[in-house]
Amino acid sequence: MAEIVIVGAGPAGIAAAGLLAGHGRSVTLIDEGLQAGGQGYRRPAPGLALDMPALMGSEAARYRSLHARFSALRPRLDYRPGTLVWAVEGRTLHLLSAGVATTLPFEVLILATGAMDRVAPFPGWAKPGVFTLGGAQVALKDQGCLIGRRVAFLGSSPLLGLAAQQYRKLGGEVAVIADTTPFRRKFSALPGLLRSPRTLLRGASYLGGALLAGVPLLQGVTPLAAEGGEHVEGLLLRDGRGRERRYACDAIALGYGLKPETQLAELAGAALIFDEDYRLWLPQADAEGRAAPGLYLAGDGMTIGGADAAEASGTVVAAAVLADLGETVLASEVAASHRRLHRLRRFQKSLAAAFAWPVAQIRALPDEVLLCRCENVSLGEVRAAMARELGPAEVNRVKAITRCGMGRCQGRVCGPALQEIVAGAADLPGAAAGRLRAQAPVKPVALSAAGEAP
């Protein structure tokens, strides 16, 4: 029987594993996290008494349902938590678990690797106290910790309101929710957002709750500085009417939506294409997640869709795997998931318009702003390298010359902003600025893995 391996035990990976196991297939499910659930439905660390259903609010039923389904499924899987897949070479995965490096062959690989925060730099963003929005949520859900007593939520993302609500529930104070996208853009995206009224209402309820609690809600802001000495003490911004405003806070949660974790997909042979709506490089796959022979992509790791879409895509992809292995899958098993996936992915495109990646703001940032935190490279250094005679006008060349994107995160954090800076400075369309190529290890690994290097 074909060796089927799924990477990622979030909603997409669990749904895929469920359908495959239901058809009698043996499945290996790998996740670097110690507990299943993925990012959105993350469980608290063992022993931590955190009332997750209360924290999840309207998502509590789905949270419970996913974890209940996983508990029932687990005995039928070769489930490997705490295991990082750090490389793909041909039909072999390179794994690292508890410091021990191993390899795992596969015939069918489903990548359900989810997403990470997309961040845009602004003056002072490398100061202690500035966290990614997702990092702020992980601290809360995994450890029951707040990133600060008084937190400013900054960026452009539907998750700003959600995270702010979760912080308020656990006793945190919210200084401001500041969105860089102007309200008129949200209004224009409204017809598309009505494709998922439930999600729209949920988003509105987060912001409504904040408003009732007296939290300032701003749209169309320009971040000016994370202020403070050794640590964040305030957020300075320009509001939509051009007035400067200062909010005292001891932490800033920064997020511009999510970007798919595509490195393994790229190493496994998926083609990537620049999507102008998201302004992200996305792996290419057909409507059922086929990206290359034996390679399937599901969930947010393919394109951002949220937890419901991830779950639906897991089912759709598993059905495609079964069909490709010659098994009959009843239309009734997947028809609803197909419909849901199609609707939610279209909804997500409208969300991308309502919570826009701030291209113009990034390109207008001053030279002294730090772009690459790992290698300490400023925007000015990138621009200066490009301005030299025969200077580079492509992100990988810029990386080679400036070291921007060459550090621990391998450009996973600075990559999207670098893309805009290079495209802006060279006056090129986004795609023409190129894409930082993925290479193993896809995340930092211990030296013990070096002997297994592909």
x/- letters, 352..381, toward ligand FAD (CB under 6 A): ------------------------------
How far is residue 21's CA from residue 101's CA, in Å, rounded to a whole number?
A: 27
428 touching ligand FAD, by CB under 6 A:
no
Structure tokens at 324: 């490709």
Contacts of 187 (CB under 8 A, 6+ apart): none
Stretch 381-420 residues interacting with ligand FAD (CB under 6 A): none
85 touching ligand FAD, by CB under 6 A:
yes
**Region from 10-18, 213-221, 285-293, 409-417 binding ligand FAD, contact rule CB under 6 A:** 10-18
Q: Is the Cβ–Cβ distance between 96 and 445 less than 8 Å?
A: yes
Contacts of 102 (CB under 8 A, 6+ apart): 94, 95, 96, 452
Judged by CB under 6 A, the residue of 21, 106, 109, 113 near ligand FAD is 113
x/- letters, 334..353, toward ligand FAD (CB under 6 A): --------------------
The footprint of ligand FAD on this chain (CB under 6 A) covers a number of residues equal to 37
10 touching ligand FAD, by CB under 6 A:
yes
**Residue 138 or 224 with smaller CB distance to ligand FAD:** 138
How far is residue 414's CA from residue 411's CA, in Å, rounded to a whole number?
A: 5
Helix (H) or strand (E) holding 321: helix 307-324
x/- letters, 13..52, toward ligand FAD (CB under 6 A): x----------------xxxx----xxx------------
Specify which residues 170 forms β-bridges with: none
> Could you tell me the smallest distance in angstroms from the CB atom of residue 136 to ligand FAD?
9
253 touching ligand FAD, by CB under 6 A:
no
**Region from 108-116, 230-238, 246-254, 411-419 binding ligand FAD, contact rule CB under 6 A:** 108-116
134 touching ligand FAD, by CB under 6 A:
yes
* Residue 326 identity: G
Residue 206: closest CA among 222, 217, 190: 217
How far is residue 161's CA from residue 253's CA, in Å, rounded to a whole number?
A: 11
**Residue 158 or 228 with smaller CB distance to ligand FAD:** 158
> Could you tell me the smallest distance in angstroms from the CB atom of residue 180 to ligand FAD?
19
Stretch 258-317 residues interacting with ligand FAD (CB under 6 A): 258, 261, 264, 299-301, 306-307, 310
> Could you tell me the smallest distance in angstroms from the CB atom of residue 443 to ligand FAD?
6
In the DSSP assignment, the letter for residue 405 is: T
434 touching ligand FAD, by CB under 6 A:
no
**Residue 126 or 139 with smaller CB distance to ligand FAD:** 139
How far is residue 326's CA from residue 324's CA, in Å, rounded to a whole number?
A: 5
**Residue 297 or 425 with smaller CB distance to ligand FAD:** 297
Report CA torsion sign: 320, 325, 330, 331.
positive
115 touching ligand FAD, by CB under 6 A:
yes
Q: Is the Cβ–Cβ distance between 399 and 388 less than 8 Å?
A: no
255 touching ligand FAD, by CB under 6 A:
no
> Could you tell me the smallest distance in angstroms from the CB atom of residue 298 to ligand FAD?
7
> Could you tell me the smallest distance in angstroms from the CB atom of residue 360 to ligand FAD?
25
**Region from 4-12, 210-218, 271-279, 343-351 binding ligand FAD, contact rule CB under 6 A:** 4-12
How far is residue 98's CA from residue 402's CA, in Å, rounded to a whole number?
A: 34
73 touching ligand FAD, by CB under 6 A:
no
> Could you tell me the smallest distance in angstroms from the CB atom of residue 230 to ligand FAD?
26
At how many degrees (to 10) do helices 60-73 and 11-22 cross?
Answer: 40
> Could you tell me the smallest distance in angstroms from the CB atom of residue 103 to ligand FAD?
14
* Residue 340 identity: R
How far is residue 384's CA from residue 407's CA, in Å, rounded to a whole number?
A: 20
Contacts of 369 (CB under 8 A, 6+ apart): 121, 122, 123, 125, 378, 379
**Beta-strand runs (E) in 33-180:** 78-80, 83-89, 92-97, 100-105, 108-111, 115-117, 130-132, 150-155, 173-179
**Residue 10 or 415 with smaller CB distance to ligand FAD:** 10
Q: Is the Cβ–Cβ distance between 240 and 183 less than 8 Å?
A: yes
CB atoms within 10 A of CB 14: 29
Contact footprint for ligand FAD (CB under 6 A): 7-13, 30-33, 38-40, 84-85, 112-117, 134, 137-138, 159, 162, 258, 261, 264, 299-301, 306-307, 310, 442
